Amino acid sequence: MTTLVQPGTTPLPRAGETLRHFGPNWYATVMGTAIVAAAGAALPTRPPESFLRVVWALSALLLLGVLVARAGHWARHRDQGVRHLADPAVAPFYGCLAMALLAVGGATLSVGSAVLGRRTAVAADGALWLTGTVLGLAAAAGIPYLMVTRHRVEPGSASPVWLLPVVAPMVSAALGPALVEHLPAGQWREALLLGCYALFGLSLLMTLLLLPLVFSRLIHHGPLPAALTPALFLVLGPLGQSTTAVNNLADAARYAVGAPLVRAMGAFAVLYGVPVTGFALLWLAFATAMVVRAARRGMSFSMTWWAFTFPLGTCVTGAAGLSRHTGLHAFGWLALGLYALLVAAWATASARTLSGLFSGRLLAAPRPAPVVPAPTTARTR
């Protein structure tokens, strides 16, 4: 029997094919939801606790659901999973698995402890942090290895998505400090603290290698395709998360090291965090302008809209950390303003994702991208 499809519509996936195109990018929904709870808990003036707890519980349920769906994807459609790993446009999203685990773990400790109890929340966060850190290190090393040895990367194809696997260790560096005080005093605490600094360093240096490639691609080849334009917000991730990391590490230092290092780490948090926040705000303005440009040219919803959530949330926690360490009210107001944008972005992405799921469009096979000839003259608009 032939199925008739109206022109301009997306055919619903057949039974048994629902999970075939359920890729690793779906972990972004978990990250983007968890950061709403965690960032709210970091604000100088916290939103209602009931709101934070509901969002945290939703992120935990989303994590469970996406893990089950991804397991089903690999069980039923292993060929597609292997194809995803071989695709340089999809493989970087495997870093999102680690960040989803880490984000839910951090929100469990900062928000869920009032529901689960402190001891249970610490245990859950510890397990998720350890698992997420191991997977994050595997992604940070493995995905670049695949890009060098297996992937066919065309000149001028650098994308902000490439940052996803290398920023995962930075998330570990930002969330690990909350566990320092719960370890036995002495070597264990110091090892975790300095280990998080090592995670901070490896992620930061890899980010510094990739960012010039991304900006060079924009300068020499023009704007990203409309559907990919929201991915420009991913650059905010390592910027906000690294600022969050140095501030959280400075908070945890008093549990692990002596007074001289505590003072040095506190000073480093401010001296690093303030300039990086300045650049993050510049990039936020640039990325927003590019998104507005794409929207005026007909940009429609896609899963890349979730790039508006987690990276922006890291800027909230980074600004909140600077507010704690400088006492400057402007950073507190900045965190509150960015949080309002975060909640609006999360609500929009969530509503559009639910609509796309019910219509079947988000689980359908992706359409081939149209081939656009490279411009031969200077860009004029």
Q: Please write the tens of the pLDDT for every residue from 349-374.
A: 999 999 998 888 888 776 654 444 44
Mind listing the pLDDT tens digit for each residue in 293-320? 999 999 999 999 999 999 999 999 999 9
Q: Which residues of 281-307 are buried (b: 16+ CB within 10 A; e: fewer)?
A: bebbeebeebbeebeeeebebbbbbbb
111 within domain boundaries: yes
Instruction: Give the tens place of pLDDT for each residue, 118-166.
Output: 999 999 999 999 999 999 999 999 999 999 998 888 887 899 999 999 9
Segments forming the whole domain that contains residue 66: 24-363
pTM equals 0.91
Residue 53: CB atoms within 10 A of its CB come to 16
Residue type, 184: P
DSSP class of residue 376 equals S
Half-sphere exposure of 137 (CA within 13 A, CB side): 14
Burial of 361 (0-12, 13-18, 19+ CB in 10 A): middle
Residue 108 inside a domain? The answer is yes
3-state secondary structure 193-223: HHHHHHHHHHHHHHHHHHHHHHHHHHHHHCC
Secondary element (H or E) of residue 259:
helix 259-296
- Whether residue 95 is predicted with pLDDT greater than 70 in this model: the reply is yes
User: Per the domain annotation, does 6 fall within a domain?
Assistant: no
- In this structure, are residues 346 and 39 in contact, taking their beta carbons and an 8 Å threshold? no
Total domain count, the chain: 1
165 to each of 34, 120, 143, 253, how far by Cα in Å? 18, 29, 7, 27
172 located within any domain: yes
Q: Any idea what the CATH number is for the domain that residue 183 is in?
A: 1.50.10.150
